[in-house]
């Protein structure tokens, strides 16, 4: 297993502009994919109820859905390359691994926050978020 990248607070904050752009893009792609999937569901329901649908639409919808899924997967791969863990795409919640008192913890950030200002243990999640203090990570 490859060694996980560890971030300082300063390094994590420096990633926020790129990270923000990527997460906003991924959220838009996920919304679009949701709309495409809703259309697929509508067509399926229509076909089941009256047997009619536009067969020309099928490959277009499939292509769009595949492209959006691949774009989201590319975003997930980029996050992995950066060593950033996505916890919830809808809120833009991510964790950066960091060292604190000789142990690995998460620096926790959510899209819309101005800076990385919280941390939590690896096993506590968002509910265990604590404000960063003056102690350097």
Q: What residue spans define the domains of the chain?
A: 9-131
Q: Which helix (H) or strand (E) holds 1?
A: none
Distance CA 38, CA 35 (A): 5
Higher-pLDDT residue of 137 and 91 is 91
What is the distance between the alpha carbons of residues 63 and 80, in angstroms, rounded to a whole number? Answer: 26
Find the mean pLDDT for residues 107-111: 97
Residue 29's Cβ-side half-sphere holds a number of Cα atoms within 13 Å equal to: 20
DSSP 131: E
Q: Is 123 helix (H, G, I), strand (E, B) or coil?
A: coil
pLDDT score for 62? 78
Question: Minimal CA–CA distance to 65: which of 38, 102, 27?
Answer: 38
135 pLDDT above the threshold of 50: yes
Bigger pLDDT: 115 vs 3: 115
Q: Is 113 exposed, middle or buried (0-12, 13-18, 19+ CB in 10 A)?
A: middle
Query: What's the confidence (pLDDT) of residue 3?
Result: 66
Dist CA 86 CA 75 (whole Å): 10
- pTM of structure: 0.81
What span, in angstroms and rounded, lies between the C-alpha atoms of 137 and 98? 7
At 55-93, the pLDDT tens digits run 656 677 778 888 999 999 999 999 999 999 999 999 999
pLDDT digits (tens, 9 = 90+) for 16-47: 999 999 999 999 999 999 888 777 666 666 55
Whether 98 shows a pLDDT value over 70: the answer reads yes
């Amino acid at each position: 297993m490859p060694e996980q990248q560890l971030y300082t607070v300063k390094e994590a904050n420096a990633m926020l502009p790129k990270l923000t752009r990527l997460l906003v893009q991924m959220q838009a792609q996920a919304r679009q994919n949701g709309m495409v999937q809703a259309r697929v569901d509508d067509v399926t329901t229509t076909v089941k109820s009256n047997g009619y649908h536009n067969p020309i639409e099928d490959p277009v919808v499939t292509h769009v859905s595949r492209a959006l899924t691949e774009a989201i997967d590319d975003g997930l791969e980029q996050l992995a390359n950066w060593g950033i863990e996505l916890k919830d795409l809808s809120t833009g919640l991510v964790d950066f691994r960091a060292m604190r008192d000789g142990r690995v913890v998460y620096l926790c950030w959510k899209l819309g926050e101005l800076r990385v200002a919280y941390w939590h243990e690896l096993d506590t999640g968002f509910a265990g978020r604590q404000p960063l203090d003056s102690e350097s990570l």
